[in-house]
Amino acid sequence: MQNNFGFIIMGATGDLAQKKLFPALHGLLKMNRIDGNFYVVAVGRKQFSNEEFRQHVKSAIPKIHEDSWKKLEEKLYYFDLDFNETNGGFKKLESFLKELEQKHQTNQNRLFYLATLPSHFKNIAANIRLHGLAETSGWCRVVFEKPFGHDEKSAKELNLEISKVFDEKQIYRIDHYLGKELVQSIGILRAGNRIFSPLWNKENIDHVQINLIEDFGVEGRGNFYDGQGALRDVGQNHLLQLLCLVAMEIPSKFDEKCIRNEKVKVLKKVKFATNDAVLGQYEGYTSEDGVSKNSKTETFFALKALINNKRWKGVPFYLRSGKNLAKKFASIYIQFKDPNYTVFESQTLNQNYLVIQIQPDDGMLVQLNGKVPGEKMKIQPVKMTFCHECAFGPNTPQAYETLLYEALCGDQSAFIRSDEIEHSWKVTDKVIKKKIPIQKYAKGTFGPKESDEMIEKDSRKWFNKIENVVQGL
């Protein structure tokens, strides 16, 4: 259990805070992971009284647990502040935090969460420095929501700016995919199971697919999304992080330093084959609110990555994501090479594969080959499953609950280090700068036909299934 802290949310009236952060705090209280002496300060530009804002937050939390809400409500305060103002607002905030620390006896432990537009990051960091908000007798940490930078150059500039205020041990660059339970289990799957660890290499694995498929569009985020595109929105962060977790060497320890060291080693060896890259835009995108009528922003990408190291040389990693596609799922598909035995005569065996399904139903599935009963040497695929909720129950912490708790504990292993984020941008920038033509695709499909052609010329197919990890059907 964590107590004795202040949690200061910059941008507390925005969607992220309302849909993710406050429900996460409520969930942590319900699970008794935080309690005791703490306070929460919601900072935003709009005018609210404390009571008005508390009711605003309550209305956004699904399935209120009354005891947990009462604890949060009693310690939730609102502070209006324009992040660009220069008339002493940050100085007043510092005085307000000191009052609350005395009232709630929190030992000046402060966790700042920047849930603002990235354009505010530098200014907020500078004002925190100028007015001494990070100079406390306890610990002080800051969480930066993605996107962190727009390219390698801007990420380096931002890292330099915030390093003037915080050292690297205080900085938590968030990627909420790293808080998902199935994602955090990838290292355990490999290191904790002898049946997989010897097979995790180019001798046994044919290829890997990492898919983040969405069946909805930009949903009112047109202004933001049109300046980002799919590659910056989910490619540089979510999908590259999943690639690193699958491809990295098993760390000598499962701690923040060793895990992040191994991920950086992978990023240094990753190269996207820009001749095998497809970008797409769904039909009707330019009619979305906030989107330029002549927009060339991609809402879909399919990439082929190669990792030039001993373990993975020659094994393709296919990364794909898009909006307004036929289904909604996120998974890692690992296809193994065909058996090299000749005893099966003329029979064609199905490929063995492992699926780590992140959503909708989180779990894992392995496809094997088995004998059909009563038939001599007739073979068909059979499936073995692991259902996360079946094994551990429905109350698994959500990603933001996990990440907020780890930030309060000072555990950076699921957060991104400065060199890691710069290398991930360096890899992604090479695709963006290539100016690959944008292909149109119809809503409700799996993207432009060029995406299928890209993988089929390697004699492979996209894995478009949502596996039933409960039944293994």
Domain with CATH 3.40.50.720 in the chain: 5-145
**CATH annotation of 5-145:** 3.40.50.720
Rounded to whole angstroms, the maximal C-alpha distance in the chain is 84
pLDDT beyond 60 at 473: no
Is residue 408's pLDDT more than 90?
yes
Confidence at 27, pLDDT banded by 50, 70, 90: very high
Tell me the CB-side half-sphere exposure of residue 473, using CA atoms within 13 A: 3
Tokens representing 250? Answer: 């098993």
- DSSP code string of 6-42: EEEEETTTSHHIIIIIHHHHHHHHHTTSB-SSEEEEE
Predicted TM-score (pTM) above 0.85: yes
Q: How high is the pLDDT of residue 418?
A: 96
Q: What is the dihedral of CA 450, 455, 460, 464, to 10 degrees?
A: -70
Q: What is the Cα–Cα distance from 420 to 46, expressed in whole angstroms?
A: 35
Q: Are strands 363-371 and 379-387 parallel, antiparallel or unpaired?
A: antiparallel
Which residues are annotated as catalytic?
238
* pLDDT on residue 221: 87
CATH 3.30.360.10 domain range(s) in the chain: 178-392+418-456
Summarised one tens digit per residue, pLDDT across range 299-329 is 999 999 999 999 999 999 999 999 999 999 9
Query: Rounded to whole angstroms, how far apart are CA atoms 143 and 133?
Result: 15
CA 170, 172, 173, 178 torsion: positive or negative? positive
pLDDT at 394: 65
358-392 exposure pattern, b = at least 16 Cβ within 10 A, e = fewer: beebbbbbbbeeeeeeeeeeeeeeebebbbbeeee
- The CATH number corresponding to 178-392+418-456 among 3.30.360.10, 3.20.20.70, 3.40.50.720, 2.60.40.10 equals 3.30.360.10
The answer to whether residue 130 scores a pLDDT higher than 90 is: no
Confidence (pLDDT) at 389? 76
If you average pLDDT over residues 243-262, what whole number do you get? 94
Tell me the pLDDT tens digit for each residue of 409-443.
999 999 999 999 999 999 999 999 999 999 999 99
Work out whether strand 171-173 and strand 140-144 pair parallel, antiparallel, or are unpaired: parallel
**pLDDT value, residue 182:** 81
Q: Cα-flanking dihedrals φ and ψ of residue 278, to 5°?
A: -125, 130
pLDDT digits (tens, 9 = 90+) for 319-366: 999 999 999 999 999 999 988 766 776 777 888 999 999 999 889 999
